Amino acid sequence: MFKARRLLFFYVETPLHVGAGRASANVDLPIQRERVTQYPMVQASSLKGALRAEFRQAHQLNDDDALVEAIFGKAGSTGENWAGAISAGDARILLFPVRSLAGVFAWVTSLHALESFRRSAELAGQSVSWNVPQGGPEGTAAWVGSKSQVAPEGKVVLEEFSFDARPKSEVDAIAQWLAANALPQGTAFQYWRETLPARLCILHEDAFRDFCLYATEVQTHIRIDPEKKTVAEGALWTAESLPADSLLYAPLMAMDVRNGKDQMPADEVLKEFDFLQDGHVQLGGDETTGQGWVAVKVYGG
């Protein structure tokens, strides 16, 4: 049974590619998505592997060191093996950045995404101080804050789509909570914390899903033949990435170490991850080209 729980927020700083492992109709290397909603995500197995690598580096440990195996588990066909004491959930999308005619870009979300977040927060033993507005915006409406920068003259224009702006006090409360609790608290993020309430838009579920599907970043890659200085045969492909300024969240839970040798309670297990607070980790692929940098905020505890 899990005895200690936290909530992790990941603010994407460079395009994030966590591959689905199979091509789609339009992209050779698409990102991972939820099966039903098609929202972008990072599967728990991918996230846990990245956390293990960052844990080793932060504590300067080898993969077979006792502390690593006690927390993350040990597997093998022979000898001792046991399950880890840490459990990371899927990282799910909460805020998605979309080009805006006013204010450069807006952070969009939906009632479904917000309610899913509230449910995950409860799973992680945390609570939020705001309520989601009831009913949801109509298909052509966008709920915005009282001082929105993306809704001049009552219109929100995202990509080539126009929405009728509907100011809601609940949007202000949600944005202020996220600015205080979901974004890193360093001075580098002060501007983003201050502007989040002015950029937040709550859209209809269909509109939010469509932006998450069709407004991601798609990069074309080639490999040059070093002798001919032309594209090598078969070396042209496209890769999808979650754009910078996206916000993801995931529960992180722990139980007492269960290797039968060490006595480490769940609270101490989670304290070993304090290095994540307001730090940076790399998720996904293309690490050597600067992809996948995310800023981390740990909430709870």
Q: Single out the residue of 51, 95, 22, 60 nearest to residue 283, CA to CA.
A: 51
Query: Rounded CA gap, 47 and 88, in Å?
Result: 7
Percent of the chain with pLDDT over 90: 67
Q: Over the stretch 146-162, which tens digit does the pLDDT of each residue have? A: 999 999 999 999 999 99
Query: Rounded CA gap, 176 and 145, in Å?
Result: 10
Q: Single out the residue of 35, 42, 25, 46 nearest to residue 214, CA to CA.
A: 25
Q: Over the stretch 54-99, which tens digit does the pLDDT of each residue have? A: 999 998 988 888 888 888 887 765 667 777 889 999 999 999 999 9
For the whole model, what pTM was predicted?
0.92
Sites in the chain below the pLDDT cut of 70 = 23, 25, 76-79, 228-231, 233-234, 260, 262
